[in-house]
Structure 1
Amino acid sequence: MSDTPATAPAAAFWEARYRDTDRVWSGRPNELLVREASDLDPGTALDLGCGEGADAVWLASRGWRVTGVDISGTALERAAGHAADAGVGDRVSWERHELGRSFPEGSFDLVSAHYLQSPVELDQPAVLRAAARAVAPGGTLLLVLHAGWPSWQTEPPFDAVFPTLDGVLAELALPDAGWTVETKETVRRPSTSPEGVEGYREDHVWRLRRA
């Protein structure tokens, strides 16, 4: 695992988030990754904000060579362990970056970023533009972002500005001649509060192919 040191407060926030519990995420790949990437031919993939590695492990199990990136060293250690347990440790490399301040080198056939949204400092537009630049010719950019709070969230825990479908494309500023939008939609999925209140949450998904 390579390590580009991250700075406070973002690094401290996320490191504490992972250290305070044995598991933060479900361990299953994101449903929209499975939906959007299952028909892609395996190549090289970059998983931005990989967390505990479920998406990277899923991609590696399907033949991709994956670079997983996260701000938390604890998350990356867990991710490496999960990859080894799944028998794909040799197909995944791990890099620690505070996206917006540093970014992995190279180009990739798939660049995937799910839920790069944070209650602490994150220059999301700059990170997404860097993600687009990292897509190799003929490759795919897959972005998934929350469109709003869950329906049961009556008191948001912090102020947040959520993206729009057209707004993110405008921020990417991609040349029309160089990219094809293959997916641009809002997906509603079931969501249950910690207290058991049933509801839903909406996510935006973009899949774009570079010429």
Structure 2
Amino acid sequence: MTSTQPPTAAEYWENRYRERGRSWSGRVNAALEREISGVEPGTALDLGSGEGGDALWLAHQGWRVTAVDIAPSALAIGAAAQHPDDDITWVAADLAEWTAPEQYDLVTSCFLHSSVELPREDILRRAASAVAPGGILLIVGHAGVPHWTDADTTHKGQHAHERVELPTPDDVYETLFTDSPLVEAEWSVLTKALVERIGVGPDGSTGPITDSVLTLRRL
């Protein structure tokens, strides 16, 4: 009997985007637009950029963006939507292994959840290390189950479909600074909150979704 090996993270996400084509709206995430609007543009690093909705929005605001994702097919969708004046570098890399080559004025990670193995805590700590002095770190995640999900199959703190952990802003903050080389006193909290927004389901229905939002500034 031959055993079937589970896909690697790179295989899983590349296959997902190849099979589904465009998966997202292409619009900026609401939390990023709210938290970063009005901030003077500089260099930005978008980790887990997917199809590039956030990277494209940042570039339109004048940021010089490096967008990193494990799936080349996802990056290709973003690159196809890029305006000639947009300053975006698209990087296909596994965040479990990739390290930023420099520091940035803004580092963002929005909805970095995965149903396959992902060292999320290590990735977020490296993300913080990539923030330049005076720069901003923005981490956004799912904090609740979408209204279109079957509540009977939901486990507390997990996404019903993929059983991924959904840490709170306090959880994320603690992860960054507990048993970590990061120095808590070097950071100030701009936002640490659960924020509700209206989401649109696959069937077109709308309802509230709760985001976990943590925004820090490096002093």
What's the TM-score once normalised by structure 2's chain length?
Answer: 0.86
Report what 2:4 is aligned to.
none
- Shift in alpha-carbon separation, 1:195–1:52, aligned structure 2, 3 A: closer
Question: How far apart are 1:151 and its partner, in Å?
Answer: 3.3
The question of 1:15 aligning with 2:11 is answered no
Measured against aligned partners, the alpha-carbon deviations of 1:110-162 in whole angstroms (never above 9, x if no partner) come to 00110000111111100100000000000000110001221332232232221
Opposite residue 127 of structure 2, the aligned amino acid is A
Cα–Cα, structure 1 residues 67 and 196, in superposed 2: closer, same or farther, change >3 Å?
Answer: closer
Letter in 1 for 2:113: Q
Secondary structure at the aligned position of 2:20 is classed as coil
Q: For residue 116 of structure 1, what is the aligned residue in structure 2?
A: 112
Which residue number corresponds to residue 85 of structure 2?
A: 88
Amino acid at match of 1:110: L
Which of 168, 172, 175 aligns to 1:171? It is 175
In 1, Cα distance between equivalents of 2:163 and 2:129: 30
Q: CA RMSD in A?
A: 1.5
Secondary structure of the residue that 1:11 maps to in structure 2? Answer: helix
Give identity over the alignment, percent. Answer: 46
Alpha-carbon offset, residue 21 of structure 1: 2.6
SS in 2 for 1:20: helix
Q: Map 1:17-56; keep pairs closer than 5 Å.
A: 17-56=16-55
**Runs (5+) with no aligned partner, structure 1:** 1-7
Q: Which runs of 5+ in 2 are unaligned?
A: 1-6, 154-159
CA contact (8 A) 2:197 2:210 kept: yes
1:94 CA displacement: 1.1
Secondary structure at the residue paired with 1:131? Answer: helix
- What is the rounded CA distance, in whole Å, between the counterparts of 1:24 and 1:54 in structure 2? 11
Q: Is the 8 A contact 2:113 2:164 kept in 1?
A: no
TM-score by length of 1: 0.89
3-state SS in 2 of match to 1:55? helix
Kindly provide the amino acid, as one letter, of the partner of residue 209 in structure 1.
R
8 A contact 1:113–1:143 mirrored in 2: yes
The answer to whether the 8 Å contact 2:125/2:176 transfers is yes
SS in 1 for 2:97: coil
